[in-house]
Every structure is written in structure tokens, then in C-alpha cells.
């Protein structure tokens, strides 16, 4: 089954202790699409500028990602520049040039409307809600957000959360959204805002999925998936979006949505996140095989499972 993602397709200029990369392909929708492409058909709604060439498109097309929803606008593509120090969990932003992204108005091509799964990557919650309303027939809506919207557009975000079935955010975002320092209490408060399930990403410690009362009818017990202890995190950019791509992509590939599918999706999310950070930009996500992915899935299982 197919999944539609709306979000940023962008250029990134990244510096980490392992090196520097100038104006390479990036953006939440890019990482999400590449990660999800190993599991299901992916369709992208995004906007790029004149400087976005066929070689960038080709990266996505080679993975079978459909780009009919990729708008072209006069001007430059969204370009983010930032740096990670020894603590790879914190990015220092050098510049954020929104460019054509500033006037992005997501339009869903008619042939995309039947997509069963929808992922609202981290963009303005007003746009997220517009897309969710256009896609009211979707079986499952996943979403992301960030501190910028939690603080700056809280009222709008709360409206959007009513349309999101599974929200994927990190610890700090969950605590900020809930105004609560305890993780479990924060999770319960966020679940009361609308989502049936909440995935909280803990970086190198993995991720936990929490379920609301009005969840998927599979109980409220949380489930935790690991992350792989890695010697080298070359570039953490896109780890969260790759997690979301593996998570949503695996769900979309399955016939039904039950507890076991969601648990395995958590593992696949962690797996795709662990691949993403091994190389600069989305490089590692371009040439994986399903065998490599499943071998790492097995590694994750061995890392945490008793006999």
C-alpha cells in the first residue's frame, strides 16, 4: 500500500567531527521517502527551486519514489546549514534559508488522494492540517513537529494533533508539548491531545511507543525498541525522519494494524535511523538491500531479546 509524505525536500550544508558536506540533498521528506522506499510505494508532496537538478531527483526516483507532487517554484531550494559537535544530539544551526519553502502551499495531485497512509513531516502545523483534511480517507496519519511550532504555533498545532493518529517526536519535544518533566506523564498528556499513539525517540537509547485510551484496541502497555550502539555517528542529520520512514513504511507494507505490526515497525524505525547516521546525508539510505535491513533488524533483536 502507498504512503504519501508532505515535508521538506532541501539542501543541507553540514559539518560534523567527521567532515563537511556542502549543499547536499536533504530535507525531512527526502530521508523519510528513502527509508520508507524499502517497504512500500512512496509519494512526495514538496517544493523545490530552480537549483534542484535532475541528479537530485534521480536519487529519489532510483528508489521508486513518485515525484509527481514535487512542485517547482522560481527561486532557490530550502537550504539549511548546521554543525554537530562531539555531542551529536545537538545541532548548531548556521543558517536557515527558507527560499521557495516560505510560500509552500501543499497541493495533493488527484492520483495521490487514494494513498492509504499519510505522513506529515515537520512543517507548519497549519499546512499539516490542510493536507490532513485533503486526505481524510487515509487509514492512518503519522506526524512530526518541533520546538519551533510547539512554542510558536501552539494553538494551531493542537488543532493539527486532533488529525494525527501517531505522533513521532523526541523526549525534549514531548516534555515541552506537555509542560511536564516526567516522560510517562508527558506521554499521557500528549495522548490526551488527540493521537492514538505517541512514539518518543530517545536518540541513542532507542524509542518508546505509548498508547492512548482510545488507541488501536491493543491495550495501553508501552513498547520500547532499542537503538544500536555505534562507534561512529558520522552525521545525525535525518535520523528521526529515517526512523519515521522505516516505522511508517513497514506499517504501510502490512495488511493489518495490530500490536505486533507496531512493535516490529518500532524496530524497523530504529534500524533505518541507525543506517542513516553511518554516512553523510542520505548516502547510506540510497543503496541498501532488504537483506541488509533484515540482518540489522536481527541484530536489534539480539541486542534486547532473552531466549
Binding site for a copy of itself (CB under 8 A): 86-87, 181-185, 187-188, 202, 204-206, 208, 210, 221-226, 229-233, 260, 263-264, 267, 301-307
Q: What are the residues facing 199 on neighbouring strands?
A: 168, 209
**Interatomic CA distance for residues 292 and 283, integer angstroms:** 15
Given the complex with a copy of itself, which of 32 and 39 has the nearer CB atom?
Answer: 39
- What 3-state class would DSSP assign to 137? coil
Given the complex with a copy of itself, which of 54 and 179 has the nearer CB atom?
Answer: 179
Residue 226 C-beta: closest distance to a copy of itself, Å: 5
Given the complex with a copy of itself, which of 97 and 278 has the nearer CB atom?
Answer: 278
Angle at 225 between CA 221 and CA 227, to 5 degrees: 155
Residue 78 C-beta: closest distance to a copy of itself, Å: 31
Residue 62 C-beta: closest distance to a copy of itself, Å: 31
Residue 76 C-beta: closest distance to a copy of itself, Å: 35
Given the complex with a copy of itself, which of 24 and 209 has the nearer CB atom?
Answer: 209
Closest CA to 228 of 171, 279, 297, 306: 297
User: Residue 45 to residues 72, 90, 179, 251: CA-CA distances in angstroms?
Assistant: 11, 28, 32, 20
**Interatomic CA distance for residues 106 and 292, integer angstroms:** 34
Q: Which H, E and C letters describe 139-205, residue by residue?
A: CEEEECCCHHHHHHCHHHHHHHHCCCCEEEEEHHHHHHHHCCCCHHHHHHHHHCCCCCEEEEECHHH
Residue 185 C-beta: closest distance to a copy of itself, Å: 6
Residue 215 C-beta: closest distance to a copy of itself, Å: 16
Given the complex with a copy of itself, which of 133 and 305 has the nearer CB atom?
Answer: 305
Given the complex with a copy of itself, which of 24 and 277 has the nearer CB atom?
Answer: 277
Q: Which H, E and C letters describe 46-97, residue by residue?
A: EEECCCCCHHHHHHHHHCCCEEEEEEECCCCCCEEEEEECCCCCCEEEEEEE
Given the complex with a copy of itself, which of 10 and 225 has the nearer CB atom?
Answer: 225
Residue 18 C-beta: closest distance to a copy of itself, Å: 11
Amino acid at each position: 500500500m502507498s504512503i504519501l509524505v508532505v515535508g521538506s525536500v532541501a539542501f543541507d550544508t553540514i559539518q560534523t567531527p567527521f567532515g563537511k558536506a556542502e549543499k547536499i540533498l536533504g530535507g525531512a521528506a527526502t530521508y523519510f521517502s528513502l527509508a520508507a522506499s524499502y517497504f512500500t510505494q512512496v509519494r512526495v508532496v514538496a517544493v523545490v527551486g530552480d537549483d534542484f537538478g535532475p541528479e537530485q531527483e534521480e536519487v529519489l526516483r532510483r528508489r521508486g519514489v513518485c515525484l509527481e507532487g514535487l512542485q517547482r517554484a522560481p527561486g532557490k531550494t530550502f537550504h539549511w546549514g548546521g554543525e554537530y559537535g562531539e555531542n551529536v544530539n545537538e545541532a548548531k544551526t548556521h543558517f536557515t534559508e527558507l527560499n521557495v519553502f516560505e510560500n509552500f502551499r501543499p497541493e495533493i495531485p488527484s492520483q495521490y488522494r487514494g494513498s492509504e497512509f499519510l505522513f506529515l513531516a515537520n512543517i507548519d502545523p497549519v499546512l499539516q492540517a490542510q493536507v490532513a483534511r485533503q486526505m481524510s480517507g487515509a487509514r492512518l496519519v503519522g506526524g512530526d513537529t518541533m520546538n519551533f511550532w510547539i512554542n510558536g504555533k501552539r494553538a494551531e498545532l493542537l488543532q493539527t494533533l486532533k488529525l494525527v493518529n501517531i505522533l513521532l517526536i523526541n523526549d525534549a519535544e514531548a516534555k515541552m508539548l506537555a509542560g511536564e518533566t516526567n516522560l510517562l506523564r508527558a506521554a499521557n498528556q500528549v495522548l490526551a491531545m488527540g493521537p492514538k499513539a505517541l512514539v518518543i525517540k530517545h536518540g541513542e537509547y532507542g524509542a518508546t511507543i505509548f498508547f492512548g485510551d482510545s488507541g488501536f484496541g491493543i491495550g495501553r502497555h508501552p513498547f520500547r525498541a532499542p537503538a544500536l550502539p555505534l562507534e561512529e555517528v558520522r552525521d545525525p542529520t535525518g535520523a528521526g525522519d529515517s526512523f519515521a520512514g522505516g516505522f511508517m513504511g513497514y506499517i504501510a507494507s502490512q495488511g493489518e494494524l495490530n500490536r505486533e505490526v507496531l512493535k516490529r515497525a518500532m524496530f524497523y524505525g530504529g534500524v533505518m535511523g541507525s543506517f542513516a547516521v553511518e554516512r553523510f546525508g542520505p548516502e547510506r539510505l540510497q543503496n541498501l538491500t532488504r537483506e541488509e535491513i533484515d540482518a540489522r533488524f536481527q541484530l536489534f533483536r539480539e541486542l534486547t531479546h532473552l531466549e
